[in-house]
Structure 1
Amino acid sequence: MKAAEQRVPLTDLYQGDHWAKAQALVPLASKAGFTPELWVASAGLGLRPVTDTAPAYAATFSLRHADSVAASPDDSARWWRCLQANDSKRSLASLSQRGHMLLVLSEAYANVMASDLDSLAQGANDTLLIGGAQSHPGITRVPSDATLRHALGGTLTSLNVRMAAAWLDRCSNARLTSPETRAAWNTWTAQVSKRETYNRLPLTDEAVIEFIRTNHAQHPGHSRTRMLRELRSQGLACEQKRFAHLYAVTVEKQ
């Protein structure tokens, strides 16, 4: 109980490449002429500024993740509405009244927040969505584009936030959605887009199990999804359902 009561700033609560790149958006936005505030959309906390504090938690809206808070998209949406129900001041619509808004959302989180995005779109002013799941009239959207990963580097997990950084590098006139910025973006993407092909090496069950054992011993906190990502990042192949079965046999039944 004592550990659960310990609160830390949100800037220190999250980890990984995606979070590091998200925090790096702040100086990039300042350089582009904005006065930025960084907020997080959290499956455990709702919409929060990173200056807030909270106890450590494990929650996500990614349905196949071990820490998923729901079994279906509808469940996730209801969970989000409950988190936000008693805090109208911390909504996308209220934040948009402060000025420009840059949203960086995965498909899973954008689906959960769809009603919030629709409300935001009704009064959005210079609002840009990187990633997301669908268009919302009134919000400029740049869908996630895997053909840019060759130029931006990193994993697909951090692609949206890397795209946001590249967009801010091209911002002009202290506006996110100016025609000049869009034109600069289109010119750049036309030059660097490259479709990726995968030639991964297939593994036997025994080799996959050995990888899982080694990875789990070195990183006991890694989820099954993260482990599979790391295997594939090494140029190795294993179908998701097969990996899940071997992971269960190797780790979950220990």
Structure 2
Amino acid sequence: MSDGREHIPDIFEERAVIREKISTLSFEDLLKMKEDLGSKLYNETIFGPSKKIKQTGLKRENKNRPREISSKIRRKQIGKELNTKDIAVVKKVLPRDPRFDPLCGQYDDNIFKRNYKFVNDIRKDEKKQLEKELKSCTNTERKKTIKFLIQRIDNQIREEIKRDAEHGKKFEEKQNIRDQLKKGEKPVFKKKSVKKLEGLIERFEELKKTNKLRKHIERKSKKLTSRDRKKILNEDLRRLKRDGFVT
């Protein structure tokens, strides 16, 4: 026992001497020495031998019994103790809605139209392909679906043109107001009723040019007659209820 205790200070003295010698070396020489000796021997020489942790096996009184694992052991250690892979932690992905997410910025109609301007070109190409398919198609069900798709694309393009025209009018109106303010004049703001009347006049002129005015008037009159008929029926029903004929 005494020999072992006497031997311990000698080891510390040797390490101290080695460290003093190493302290004078440059970083490049240290790297070369590490390459020559190897990282394990190099670390043991400078820092001393690494302490090995004793792994205590989980024993069972009977082989048929399940293993009892301490609650103090961490989840990753349980996998190691049972010789299994570490339990993978799945990160919860939170869904993001760009409409209500402030990180996505605010919606700008002009930027949106500019970025997605190519959609109209795609629609036109799709319409051409559908028209070609319609000519060569023999299936009646497929023909119906193709006609429906063509009609839908036409409506989408028409609505887009209509929106662009309305946007152009609003921009022109704002520009006129700015020009009037620059000149020092009092700007004229149109009422909603005036705007509505102007829109109806433009609609009338457009229908007249495309020879769809008569059809539009007939459709409108049918709607009005049906509405009037419903109104009359409701009034009659209300009167009958009031007089007590209908409960």
TM-score, length-scaled by structure 1: 0.18
Higher helix share: 2
Higher strand share: 1
Q: Rg: which structure is higher?
A: 2
